[in-house]
Structure 1
């Protein structure tokens, strides 16, 4: 999906990926991440956010909750992270990263709430009154008041399968008084997902945003002021003005940090591609070649790979996307015209934290390339 754009805009990353594998410094099933490019992308995002008066909370699941990368993003000016689940929040906190938001997309298990409160997140999202009460009870026990976001998921809103949950407007109308009576929490804002989708190469707000705006009006009528409007999905330099125009006070860049939102595949945006996936040709069978897997992603939209042993003789070959119902023991190249042991380089949209891949962090690709470390998919140092 991003192979051509990476070749055009960050060719040194492809070169480094090939050399690291051919030298044996990295194994197949390794993502290679350009730390300088990520930091530069984060700087651009922070600058635009300041211009639009939007607070950014960075997402780390796409690059495997990696502590080196997270710290570089903080240094670039995005001070706090959003954790997709409580385990990510704890991992980031352990590595010194401040947590701005947790509980969205994944709610907090009841018995984990006290542990999460101990790391002092700015905001916790709840999907229901019962979740809010659990947070309130734990917050009272800890002697604090926790700011919460209400996730809005009205009838007709766009919600991905496996991510269902939240308040409809009717439910909010019915339950807002009960929420206000919980004295361990305060309603600080609203959120939903996705708030932007890329449609035919153009970013557009979803119906979810309109639902958030109606929910905000309902809460304001009851005296709730200065509400945050947290609008994640496809946050990038090119979409922040659209977010601002629709009332956003917060965005949550993830793929923009690695230059891999859907827009980055078709447009030269300010953020550069910063990540490749490296494998190796394992064997040939009939009219196809197979590479080691473990890090492929069902929604990657891959089309091609670069294959070879020499940067001047890489072949661009078509791939066959894996059936998502099967384990990705291998990836498939739609050719036999390669050799066992060749490096295969991919660039696609991924979520490293749900793979069992490794991630190699590199820097200074334009001068003296350096491998800083190899980590697992959840941010632990391997080598």
Structure 2
């Protein structure tokens, strides 16, 4: 999906990936992340967000909850991490990373509520009155006031499977009247997901129906004297979309793929951000008219199409890749022609590293031709070496 763009816009990353694999410094099934380019992308986005008064939480799941990059983004001035689930939150807590937004997309289990509230996240998203009560009980125990964000939904909204939940607009007022009297919590924000998506046909980032739902929810709450301080409008967050977020009254965005230059928008445009991540494998064997390289890093929405196979960027060829079927485990990727056993394979596709079994190599100095691995981690942000 992003291979041609990476060759065009960040060829040194490709060259570095070949070099590191050939030298045996990284194994097959490793994502190589260009540390300097990621920070360059993030700084560009941060400057645009500052210009429009939009605050940024960063999403770390796509890059394997990596602490090196997370700490650098906090130092840059990001408001904190958005933890996609409670495991994400606990890993950030272990690594000393400030939590900005927790509970969206996955609610906090009761047993993990105290440790997460103790870390003082700026806000916690809830889908139910019951979860508000659990937060209230723990906040009272800890002697703190905890901000909460309500996820709202309505007919016509775009929702991904396995991500359903929230307060319907027609039930919102009654729910809020029950929640607002709970001790030690503050109704602080509204959110939905996805609020923006890249339209493949129109070739631009557009608002979804969810944005209208969030704005209607804000009016409902205003009419019962609830002042919402945060309108969090996530998805497709990047430098290009910041102005659009602001135009709908959004106060916060949550860049993830934007930081690595790998949103669907980036596959069509030479946008502000440049590609900063590739996947490295190695040819294992040939069979009939196909060859097979080591897997482990597949993500079902990757839009994987092609791979570079060879010994270097200059001495390689583009080969078509078959995406693994959904019922299979990605032990191998299938390359649609015979290739040389043990040659390096480079791919660049949309991923979510945290759902893979891949390694993650963080590399500095790529743009200057002096690459240095500054850490190798597993897909959950635990340092390997």
Into which bin does the TM-score normalised by the smaller protein fall? Answer: over 0.9
- Please state if 1:297 is matched with 2:299: yes
- Counterpart mapping for 1:233-244 below 5 A: 233-244=235-246
Which residue matches 1:60? 60
Matches within 5 A, 1:129-140: 129-140=129-140
Shift of 1:179: 1.0
2:186 — aligned with what? Answer: 186
Equivalents in 2 of 1:359, 1:288: separation in Å? 28
Give the Cα–Cα distance (whole angstroms) in 1 for the partners of residues 179 and 327 of structure 2: 41
Please give the alpha-carbon distance, in whole angstroms, between the structure 1 residues aligned to 2:228 and 2:355.
Answer: 36
Which aligned pairs between 1:290-329 and structure 2 lie closer than 5 A? 290-329=292-331
Return the alpha-carbon distance in structure 2 between the equivalents of residues 351 and 331 of structure 1.
17
Aligned partners of 1:273 and 1:75: how far apart in 2? 22
Distance 1:163 1:226, change over 3 A: closer
Taking the aligned partners of 1:96 and 1:127, their CA distance within structure 2 comes to 27
Offset, 1:76: 2.8
Runs of at least 5 residues in structure 2 that lack an aligned partner in the other structure: none
Match of 1:175 in 2: 175
* Aligned counterparts, 1:342-381, within 5 A: 342-367=343-368, 368-381=370-383
- Aligned pairs, number: 382
Deviation, 1:142, is 1.2
Cα distance in structure 1, aligned partners of 2:163 and 2:92 = 23
Match of 1:105 in 2: 105
1:97-125 Cα distance to aligned partner (Å, 9 max, x none) = 11111000000001111111111101000
Distance in 1 separating the partners of 2:34 and 2:337: 29
Q: TM-score, normalised by structure 1?
A: 0.98
- What is the distance in 1 between the residues matched to 2:105 and 2:341? 41
Question: Which aligned pairs between 1:72-151 and structure 2 lie closer than 5 A?
Answer: 72-151=72-151
Q: Deviations over 1:266-311 (max 9, x none)?
A: 1011111000000000111111111100111110001100000133
Tell me the distance in 1 between the aligned counterparts of 2:82 and 2:328.
31
Q: Is the 8 A contact 2:233 2:253 kept in 1?
A: yes
Task: Indicate conservation of the 8 Å contact 1:42/1:78, yes or no.
Answer: no
Contact 2:303 2:349 in 1 (8 A): yes
Residue 382 (structure 1) shift: 0.6
Q: CA RMSD in A?
A: 0.9
Query: How far apart, CA to CA, are the structure 2 residues paired with 1:196 and 1:366?
Result: 32
Q: Quick one: distance in 1 between partners of 2:379 and 2:93?
A: 17
Q: Which moved more, 1:57-66 or 1:366-375?
A: 366-375
Shift of 1:226: 4.2
Residue 339 of structure 1 is matched in structure 2 by 340
Aligned to 1:107, what secondary structure does the other structure show? coil
* Mapped contact 1:89–1:116 kept (Cα < 8 A): yes
Unpaired segments ≥5 residues, structure 1: none
Distance 2:250 2:178 in 1: 26
